[in-house]
Amino acid sequence: MQAYVHGYDEQENRRLQDQAGTLVDLLHSDTAYPAGSRVLEAGCGTGAQTVTLARNSPGARFVSVDVSAASLAEAKRRMDAAALANVELRQADIFALPFAPQSFDHVFVCFVLEHLPRPLEALAVLKQLLRPGGSITVIEGDHGSAYFHPDSEAARRAIQCQVELQRAAGGNALIGRQVYPLMVAAGFEGVRVSPRMVYVDSSRPERVEGFTKKTFTAMIEGVRVAAIQAGKATPEAFDEGIRALYRTAEADGVFCYTFFKGVGRR
């Protein structure tokens, strides 16, 4: 295949590749907020991203919100352990946030839209909370971006179980590829999406361990009981798929996955 495609230079990706040392860097190193700015992190969960965010922007003030009290309790422990003083944690639903319109300079949403039945409405809600000219950053994965060697129908079916269970719960595990159209449809300006591909082969043993096994395969393995109970796979078929995913972590294996990061302005 040959083609000339002009304009292939993304400042985000350049900065990114210059700085990326870990997956956290790959996703977050190009996100930093000015001192004094007020940032809403919508859907902080247990605060895994919050620590990185708040460290990378020590002068910004973060309000990190999640609907789950249990997650927030864990986030609180993380913030305390990291001795972060610029994060305020609050419990609230993303569709009923207790903030005045235009009360934030920036909004950050990571691994959240994938769980929402109405991601577009969520983005519209968040837009209202943003001051004109303020930025929004959206990061989502896409399980349809996973492919590997050796290829395996069983592995693809096990992943498909996770995709279908997430869909049945109202979410969308394939939402990464939709970050651009969703942000544009929500009315954000100057939307720019950059993919963040995680490529793993055995010359990169930390990624084999940290991504292929402990992140992706562990996540798929986590839906085993639900997938079997929902009749989406037999125990044997599911376990064969998991074995095939671990097989891609061997010396001749390869694993690929892509995250999508979009930035836009109100």
Q: Interface with a second copy includes 25 (CB under 8 A)?
A: yes
Stretch that binds a second copy, among 72-80, 126-134, 211-219, 228-236 (CB under 8 A): 211-219
Q: Contact at 8 Å (CB) between 193 and 177?
A: no
In the region spanning residues 50 to 109, those forming contacts with a second copy, defined by CB under 8 A, are none
Token pair 């449809």: residue: 185
Q: Interface with a second copy includes 189 (CB under 8 A)?
A: no
| Residue of the chain from 91, 118, 214, 235 that contacts a second copy (CB under 8 A) | 214
Cα gap 25→22, rounded to integer Å? 5
- For the CB of residue 68, give the shortest distance to a second copy in the complex, in Å: 16
Residues 6+ away with beta carbon under 8 Å from 224: 235, 238, 239, 242
| Residue of the chain from 95, 149, 229, 230 that contacts a second copy (CB under 8 A) | 149
**What number of other Cβ atoms are within 10 A of residue 209's Cβ?**
13
- For the CB of residue 36, give the shortest distance to a second copy in the complex, in Å: 28
**What number of other Cβ atoms are within 10 A of residue 63's Cβ?**
20
- For the CB of residue 242, give the shortest distance to a second copy in the complex, in Å: 16
142, two tokens: 């896409």
Q: Contact at 8 Å (CB) between 211 and 113?
A: no
Stretch that binds a second copy, among 64-72, 79-87, 101-109, 197-205 (CB under 8 A): 197-205
Q: Interface with a second copy includes 120 (CB under 8 A)?
A: no
Of 65, 69, 49, the closest CA to residue 57 belongs to 49
In the region spanning residues 224 to 253, those forming contacts with a second copy, defined by CB under 8 A, are 251-253
Q: Tell me the backbone φ, ψ of residue 204, rounded to 5 degrees.
A: -125, 70
Check residue 188 and report its DSSP letter. -
Token pair 């986590």: residue: 222
CA-CA-CA-CA dihedral for 243, 248, 252, 254, to nearest 10? 170
Stretch that binds a second copy, among 53-61, 84-92, 125-133, 186-194 (CB under 8 A): 186-194
Residue placing its CB nearer to a second copy in the complex, 148 or 238: 148
| Cis-peptide into 150, omega within 30 deg | yes
Q: Interface with a second copy includes 164 (CB under 8 A)?
A: no
Could you tell me where the DSSP H helices lie in 93-202?
119-129, 153-168, 179-185
Q: Interface with a second copy includes 206 (CB under 8 A)?
A: yes
In the region spanning residues 125 to 144, those forming contacts with a second copy, defined by CB under 8 A, are 141-142, 144
| Residue of the chain from 31, 71, 194, 217 that contacts a second copy (CB under 8 A) | 194
Binding residues for a second copy (CB under 8 A): 1-10, 13-14, 16-18, 20-26, 48-49, 111, 141-142, 144-145, 147-149, 151, 174, 177-178, 180-181, 184-185, 191-195, 197-199, 201-204, 206-207, 210-211, 214-216, 219, 251-254, 256, 258
